Structure 1
Amino acid sequence: MSHQETPRYVVFVESPLTGAGQDCARFLLEQGITPVVVAARPEAMAPSLLSDYAELGVEIRACDTQDPEAVVTACREIAADGTLVGVSSVYEYYCAMGAEVAARLGLAGPDPAAIAACRSKASMRRAMSAVPGLNPPFRVCSSPGEAAAAATEIGFPVVVKPLDLTGSLWVRRCGTADEVSALAEEIMGIGEYLGQRVAPEVVVEECVLGDEYSAEVMHGKVLGLTEKICSEPPLFLEMGHIFPARVDGARERLLVAKAEQAVKAVGVTWGPAHVELKLTGDGTDARVIEVNGRIAGDRIPELVRIATGVDMCRLHMTALLGGTPDLEVPFLRTAAVHFLMSAALGRLDAIDGVPEATAMEGVHEVRMRPGVQPGMVYRANGSNRDRAAWIIAEGADRAEALGRAEAAGRRLSFSWSPVDEVRA
């Protein structure tokens, strides 16, 4: 940027842990635009995030990110010497805030009401109820007894979920009314998690028994399908993803149609969306598990980039800047991400084998989850935060890509020592 040009800024509200924020920032910097992250407590952000943004030269500015007026004020202050060209968030808990602030400032972005609906599984389900066949049978419940009664009415097994958390937190498959009641009581007593208020309600819904996929969507159009590898019940931890999913033509058309109907029903027709779906047990139909009004997490955008050459972060930022993203996607190869788990309870003493895993053929990334380092003490909580590391690899097909990622995972070694339950 020459000294005659007016500075241009894009503000991000907070930042996720799996790289999408940094990827978006890199693209903006290439365009001569200055990205700035506003965060409630910059000093409390993961050291790896702080390091990455420092290396990029991206400022992180303190701001009350729960207050739209405070974020609007911060945006105006940041762009006082130039032009504010975009406001967004690629972090689940703040996507609605990013959309609301962008709308208040007259900038491009999704419908704030639609993104807010995605943040509540109750609102999301109600929005999709207008289209038959998107939702499984469900009930929104405000007491353990009501949840148990709803589960009995729907029929076991059921899935019980908090309304507004992410990463599979407190999402469980339940086989009895007592299990439902106990889990609902636990969820309704959480109160707050990671600074977010947790609604004292649950969604109880039919457990859809088929294979799980996600649709990666831009401007209401499915760009491709991702296969999900999930843990065994009763948890729903995502242990890996493969892009593109290899499904037969009829099922592919079914999943694409359902995903596009879902984003239209919820109203997320601008920008990125990540729609999770499951086939029914007989594979003849599908149900939407959830709609996320953001780019996918878990490094799925990197899988898309490796497999197709299309960067979803760039597509999102192109739209944010008022451009028209190219939605044609060529499928050239297959990419997979494989996750490794932390100990259920322990102190991490050492991590070995990273150079060896990184050097293996087809491997693109070997990364620890932010915060995973020797000396940390961890207690598993049954969510995606229990994953210690990930490996991304490419291959000519599903078997080769996933095989390479899993083989690299076997090169990694985590040494854990026991700790006292109370002290942990």
Structure 2
Amino acid sequence: MSPRYVVFLESPWTGAGQDCARFLLERGVTPLILATDPSRMHPSLLHDYDRLGVEIRACDIDSADAVVAFCEELATQGDLVGVTSVYEYYCDMGARVAQRLGLAGPDPAAAAICRSKSAMRAAMAAVPGLNPLHRVAESPEAAAAAADEIGYPVVVKPLDLTGSLFVRRCENSADVTAITAEVMRLGEYLGHTVAPAVMVEECVPGAEYSAEIVHGKVLGLTEKIGSRPPLFLEMGHVFPAALSGERERLLIEKAELAVKAVGITWGPSHVELKLTADGLDARVIEVNGRIAGDRIPEAVRIASGVDMCHLHMTALLGGTPDLTLTADRTAAIHFLMLRPSGHLDAIDGTAEALAVDGVHEVHLRPGVQVGIDYRANGSNRDRAAWIIAEGADREQALARARTAGEKLVFTWSPLRDTAAEA
């Protein structure tokens, strides 16, 4: 019997790639990871895939022609059954290559829309009540004018980054012009070109949730616990969200309208929404054409027994995923943050944190290790660790996760050039 292959473009840091690979290996399918320069992938990813026996090969994954050529050569050695990515920056490329090879996947045009906040807003504009007020601005002056028109406070964000990078709540024109100028100076980030423009949006003040979706159907809603303004860091998640029936129906309806408007109706998607101040309506913050990050799929699995990585891979292999989800527990994800700057001298308490009742995972973020020098950048990369715990309800799950977090102790000393900050 000839081997069967699924090709992944790159890999995220929070475990979804490894979870998908395990599922495939258990079914006799060989996953392969493509990266432009495998040596530059994070050592924790290289370690995980090596332990799984998953090969990482070099290919220019920013070129559809190069990836197609690699896949066509691979197909001479066995049966190529899927091409995809579960990493934000390459979901659209995975969809393009899959379509060219006649394989299952999302609409490439829809996947590309999800990679651009301006295209996303344009796609949803035909459906009343999905978008907040918004404007695209290509200069600090235009951004300030847009904010004046929308009304303060506003949110300013890059058009094509992820992980809350350079997303800020702004109270006045000085805040708007400062963050806009910073975004426009970037040029590139993590090897990706950054569009020299920003989205200026109405600040929606209510509670935030995400909808976890497969094939356009909401499986469940996740409560998102955010940081204090002006940053928009996600400090935790709770699945399933504890909501009244009316609010749950509202959020599900909005999320399903959003993915339909964007065109992401095959495979996984992750829609972020916020309630309005009165809690009677909601606006869509973002549509992502991929499985959720931040270990949310693991929280879904712990709470309900349904694995979203498995659902995605089942669809990729041509099967029909079972979209029935019944949660009988609650899972909470709690993030610990690094200090603004410092030299990390010691990390203690991991075993004690794991010993807390109901805790499933205590995981240091890739790159967080004794000996690093760190300066915060105002994004989700400022996290030190995550903890996942289960409970009978929201309060118990969160309490267990936070108790475990208190067991982890990070010992810091000042950076040599920032000793005055200590």
* Structure 1 length-normalised TM: 0.98
- Give yes or no for the alignment of 1:26 onto 2:18: no
2:379 pairs with one of 380, 383, 388: 383
What corresponds to 1:275 in structure 2?
Answer: 271
Question: Could you say which residue in structure 1 is the equivalent of 2:31?
Answer: 35
2:221 to 225, 229, 248: 225
2:311 matched to 1:315?
Answer: yes
1:79 shift after superposition? 3.1
Give distance in 2, aligned partners of 1:338 and 1:237: 12
Letter in 2 for 1:154: I
Of 165, 180, 201, 2:176 maps to: 180
- CA deviation map 1:335-361 (0-9, x unaligned): 000000011111111110001111111
State the Cα distance separating 1:243 from its structure 2 match: 0.1
1:67-82 to 2 correspondences below 5 Å = 67-82=63-78
1:318-337 pair list within 5 angstroms: 318-337=314-333
Equivalent residue for 2:300?
304
Task: Give 1:72 shift.
Answer: 1.1
| Residue number in structure 2 paired with 1:411 | 407
Q: State the partner residue of 2:363.
A: 367
Task: Summarize deviations over 1:132-177 as a string: whole Å, max 9, x none.
Answer: 0000000011111111000000000000000000000000000101
Q: Distance in 2 between matches of 1:419 and 1:282?
A: 46
Instruction: Name which of 120, 123, 145 aligns with 2:119.
Output: 123
How is 1:345-364 mapped onto 2 (pairs within 5 angstroms)? 345-364=341-360
Matched residues, percent identical?
71
List, as ranges, runs of 4+ consecutive aligned residues in structure 1 with deviation greater than 4 Å.
none
Q: Distance in 2 between matches of 1:37 and 1:58?
A: 7
Match of 2:245 among 235, 244, 249: 249
CA deviations 1:259-315 (Å, max 9, x no partner) are 000000000000000000000011110000000000000000000000000000000
How far did 1:78 drift?
2.8
Whole-angstrom CA distance in 2 between matches of 1:420 and 1:317: 48
Separation in 1, partners of 2:320, 2:67: 27
Distance in structure 2 (CA, Å) of the matches to 1:81 and 1:115: 29
Q: Report how many residues are paired.
A: 419
Per the alignment, residue 192 of structure 2 pairs with 196
Aligned partner of residue 25 in structure 1, secondary structure: helix
Q: Secondary structure at the match of 1:183?
A: helix
Q: Secondary structure at the match of 1:64?
A: coil
SS of the counterpart of 2:366?
coil
Cα offset, 1:80, TM superposition: 2.4
- Which residue of 2 is the match for residue 88 of structure 1? 84
Alignment partners' CA distance in 1, 2:42 and 2:311: 26
2:72 is paired with a residue whose SS is helix
Tell me which amino acid in the other structure corresponds to 1:141. Answer: A
Q: 1:106 aligns with which of 78, 102, 106?
A: 102
- Confirm whether residue 51 of structure 1 aligns to residue 47 of structure 2: yes
Between the aligned partners of 1:409 and 1:317, the Cα distance in structure 2 is: 32
CA distance in 2, matches of 1:314, 1:177: 46
Name the CA distance, whole Å, in 2 between partners of 1:206 and 1:36: 42
Give the equivalent residue in structure 2 for 1:284.
280
Query: CA offsets per residue over residues 307-341 of structure 1, 9 Å max, x none?
Result: 00000000000000111100000111000000000
**Which residue of structure 1 aligns with residue 205 of structure 2?**
209
Looking at structure 2, the residues matched to 77 and 365 of structure 1 have their Cα atoms a distance apart, in angstroms, of 39
Q: Which amino acid in 1 is paired with 2:4?
A: R
CA distance in 1, matches of 2:158, 2:144: 15
Inter-partner Cα distance in structure 1 for 2:61 and 2:199: 27
Deviations 1:159-202 (A, max 9, x none): 00000000000000001012111111111111000000000000
Distance 2:63 2:190 in 1: 16
SS at match of 1:189: helix
Letter in 2 for 1:321: L
For residues 191 and 107 of structure 1, the distance between their equivalents in structure 2, rounded to whole angstroms, comes to 34
Find 2:57's aligned residue among 61, 66, 74: 61
Shift of 1:422: 7.9
Measure, in 2, the Cα distance between the counterparts of 1:209 and 1:374: 38
Pick aligned residue for 1:400 from 387, 393, 396:
396
Structure 1 position 110, deviation (Å): 0.0
Q: Does 1:167 align with 2:158?
A: no
Structure 2 residues without counterparts, runs of 5 or longer: none
Counterpart Cα distance in 2 of 1:351 and 1:388: 10
Residue identity in the other structure for 1:101:
V
> Could you tell me how far 1:47 is from its partner in structure 2?
1.3
Of 72-81 and 114-123, more deviation after overlay is shown by 72-81
The residue identity in structure 2 corresponding to 1:287 is: R
Inter-CA distance 317–183: structure 2 relative to 1 (3 Å threshold): same
- Please give the secondary structure, in 2, of the residue aligned with 1:95: helix
Query: So what's the TM-score if we normalise by structure 2?
Result: 0.98
Mapped partners of 1:98, 1:127: distance in 2: 21
Q: Any unmatched runs of 5+ in structure 1? A: none
Deviations 1:67-105 (A, max 9, x none): 111111122233321010000000001101111110111
1:394, distance to aligned residue in structure 2 (A): 0.2
Measure the CA separation in 2 of the matches of 1:187 and 1:175: 18
3-state SS, counterpart of residue 313 of structure 1: helix
